[in-house]
Chain A
Amino acid sequence: MKKTGAQILCESLIEEGVEVIFGFPGGVLLPFYDTLPQYSKLRHILVRHEQGAAHAADGYARATGKVGVCMATSGPGATNLVTGIANAYLDSSPIVALTGQVARAFIGKDAFQEIDITGITLPITKHSYIAMEASSMANIVKEAFYLARTGRPGPVLIDLPKDVQTEEAEYRQPGKVNLPGYKVPSRGHPTQVNSAAKLINEAQRPLIIAGRGVIISGAGAELKQFAETGQIPVITTLLGIGCFPENHILSYGMAGMHGSGYANKAVDSTDLLIAVGMRFDDRVTGELSAFAPNARIIHIDLDPAEIGKNVRVTVPIVGDVKAVLQALIKLVNTTDHVEWIQELDELRKQHPMMDIRDSAGLLPQYIIRQIYEATGGDAIVVTGVGQHQMWAAQHYIHNEPNRFISSGGLGTMGFGLPAAMGAKVGCPDKTVWCIDGDGSLQMTIQELATLVQDNIAVKIAVLNNGYLGMVRQWQDLFYDKRYVATPLSCPDFVKVAEAYRIAGLRVTQREEVAPAIKQAMQHDGPFLIDFMVEPEENVYPMVPPGAAIAQFIEEPKKEVSTWPRTSTP
């Protein structure tokens, strides 16, 4: 049966299991938008800025594990997606971006709102298409979703010329995807797996560093079994948070620039670093020449190009993390590393992470811990980028995968609110907290209107310190406290929320924190709390840029009240 390009697009999206599109219309997308009401299975959420659409698709993808879809019109609509696409690319998040394009006859003529979006996004997409015939639409959509979600996931863009949306073609469901140039490694090479097992069984001080690859591969159970079998301590990257329960006896938290002192010290003294689904980002390695100086390294990753890119690896294993861990579990001796673990526990005592000092002012760490307590650790926590992000990573105890959603590679301020929106749409039964900074929130604050229009009940905690806090912290520590361009005049966020018809509260005292969080969670619908926190509180520990990760700066000694570490299994 003949259908228009727009109809074929909708049918194909439904075929791929798409339920929601975060989008913003425009001239060249009118044929698509005019067709959309014929397909009640496709829910469209109108964002207020296309960047929000891309981040929402990203947040949706990370919370659900499904492919997120965003849409923007040609020209400025498409260029507004770019930051969000780059963010998804760097964090390997599966999204499909649909962009309108001028009619075929106008392409290359600098027509109104024409932009070469496939060209612009070339280095930040896994692949891209221009759908030049309605007859190729179904195949393109199928390939795009296949590419986005398989292997190392990433963003795929489809450009949709206006007249292709109205062109008629025979709609046939496509057959199998045929991409001769696309290979997904599956299980690791047995020889490599054996070599790795040998190293693991010989090691005295082995350490696992786990990244987002574990979450993408769905290998949490395998990682746990592997660590428990070999009694190997586990640390994670920022994006790996939640791939291994942080309340587990073998968990030593997050490593890297703002990682725990004991995690970073562990990297310094391990004799075998087992890197699983991570890519040795500079924020996790610190100065490369001093990274894991006593260790041989096993690197397990799906992407062969990540092997040997930043660090020299003793045993590389290219393969799906889950399959490789399954193979390794069979070969690893049941053992214990009592002395090594005692040493790490001693380090944990010397460099405590979970303590929060007594303070007359409102401490951001305290707020994060209160949100943790109020949600029983079960919320999806989405952050912007900055100090609040690091505090959320440090002080919320994450025991499940896909529950901590944050912009890692690109470090995109403004990610929080729209990504939280996407996460809530994908997981409507979950409590979703957007923990944001006053600077980060203001980059995409207009999405408050989207929360209202589509009744998306995101709870927003603004850690408001009146600064671009993380930049101020660098100025504090490395630029002699010259706070240039970091003091921030903020609007009254509660009034802003009210103007958007969102309920809100301001909190200035420690005693008000828990009741405010409770009120927010009991409220039906979105809710914003403006926490007026200590303006010059710094994130510690901190590895200074260019330093070895064992050379971290710790919080200057102040009075501390110990917080009991929660249950261990």
Chain B
Amino acid sequence: MATNKHTLVAIVEDKPGVLNRMASLFRRRGFNIESIAVGHSEVPHLSRVTIIVNGSNAMVEQVRKQLDKLVDVVRVSDITGDNITIRELALIKVKANSATRSEIIEIADIFRANIVDVSSDSLTIEITGDEDKIDSMLKLLRSFGVREIARTGRVAMVRGNLGTRPAEEKTAGSRTNK
């Protein structure tokens, strides 16, 4: 079956163990997660989780349904086909001396990245963008010697008025609202 990359967005309650429950489910059902990013949402006590998963449509649909069954998961949407913005942030520490420093800064400028730290033998660059952009810059920086990379994992949002806000959810049954 053809596999491709899917972007899932989950709205989850800020409760102890919620990430553990999600991670346990991925492991148990044999789902491979490429990236997961978690942070506060616009609603107090609710977090937003962006999950990138590689798999067939049927397999990703199973991931979505199984996640949705977790009591602390308020809503999960597969926004892959939607018009979405995806961003990731990376911090990259590159070896740099007086000879190479200006060239590295030039590369950072081309990618509209920021220099956030300088030392006698290194530069730390902060870059935001989609995966391809970050990978492209990394490719150029490798020749200078990359010391450390920290990437946040991707976060995603649907463009325009449509969204994945919990308030927009309409589900049948016994869902109770605050």
Binding site for B on A (CB under 8 A): 118-119, 122-123, 126-127, 130, 147, 150, 176-187, 303-305, 307-309
Contact = CB atoms under 8 A, between A and B. Distances in A.
15 contacts: A122-B20, A122-B21, A123-B25, A126-B71, A130-B16, A180-B176, A180-B177, A180-B178, A181-B13, A181-B74, A182-B174, A183-B173, A187-B172, A307-B65, A308-B61
B126 interface: no
B70 A181 contact: yes
A176 B71 contact: no
A186 B172 contact: yes
Interface string B161-178: 000001000011111111
A186 B73 CA distance: 19
B65 A304 contact: yes
A181 B73 CA distance: 5
B3 interface: no
A181 B72 contact: yes
A310 to B, nearest CB: 10
A184 B173 contact: yes
A181 B61 contact: no
Nearest to A303: B69
* Interface size class of chain B, counting residues whose CB lies under 8 Å from the partner chain: 20 to 34
Given A122-B20, A181-B13, A305 B25 contact: no
Query: Residue among B16, B74, B173 with the most chain A CB within 10 A?
Result: B173
A312 B76 CA distance: 23
Nearest to A312: B58
B105 to A, nearest CB: 46
B121 to A, nearest CB: 41
B166 A183 contact: no
A181 B172 contact: no
A180 B175 contact: yes
Given A180-B175, A305-B66, 4 more contacts: A147-B71, A181-B74, A305-B68, A308-B61
Contacts of A147: 71
Most B C-beta atoms less than 10 A away, residue of A130, A147, A304, A305 = A305
Contacts of B58: 308
B12 interface: yes
Given A150-B174, A179-B71, A181-B71, A122 B12 contact: no
Contacts of A305: 62, 65-66, 68-69
B169 to A, nearest CB: 9
Interface of B: 12-13, 16-17, 20-21, 24-25, 28, 58, 61-62, 65-66, 68-75, 166, 171-178
B62 A186 contact: no
Contacts of B24: 122-123
A182 B13 CA distance: 11
A213 to B, nearest CB: 15
Nearest to A156: B71
Contact of B176 (A126, A177, A304): A177
B71 A178 contact: no
A185 B61 contact: no
A183 B174 CA distance: 6
A300 to B, nearest CB: 15
A179 B176 contact: yes
Contacts of A118: 17
Q: Which 5 interchain pairs have the tightest Cβ spacing?
A: A305-B65, A181-B74, A127-B71, A184-B173, A122-B24
Contacts of A127: 71
A150 B173 CA distance: 11
A178 B176 contact: yes
A309 B62 contact: yes
A147 to B, nearest CB: 6
Contact of B174 (A119, A184, A303, A304): A184
Contact of B74 (A123, A126, A180, A187): A180
Nearest to B64: A305
Contact of A181 (B12, B177, B178): B12
A183 B176 contact: no
B65 to A, nearest CB: 4
Nearest to A122: B24
Give the most central of B12, B28, B174, B175: most A CB within 10 Å.
Answer: B174
A142 to B, nearest CB: 13
Contacts of A179: 71, 176
Contacts of A178: 176, 178
Contacts of B72: 181
Nearest to A178: B176
Nearest to B28: A123
A183 B173 CA distance: 6
Contacts of B66: 305
A163 B166 CA distance: 37
Given A122-B20, A150-B174, A177-B176, A182 B71 contact: yes
B72 to A, nearest CB: 6
A307 B173 CA distance: 18
Given A122-B24, A150-B174, A185-B172, A180 B68 contact: no
Contacts of A304: 65, 68
Contacts of B68: 183, 304-305
B26 to A, nearest CB: 11
A562 B94 CA distance: 86
A305 B24 CA distance: 17
A313 to B, nearest CB: 11
Contacts of B21: 122
Nearest to B12: A181
A217 to B, nearest CB: 14
Nearest to B65: A305
B59 to A, nearest CB: 10
A126 B69 CA distance: 9
A564 B68 CA distance: 50
A182 B15 CA distance: 14
A249 to B, nearest CB: 36
A180 B166 contact: yes
Most chain B beta-carbon contacts within 10 A, residue among A119, A127, A180: A180
A487 B14 CA distance: 54
B22 to A, nearest CB: 10
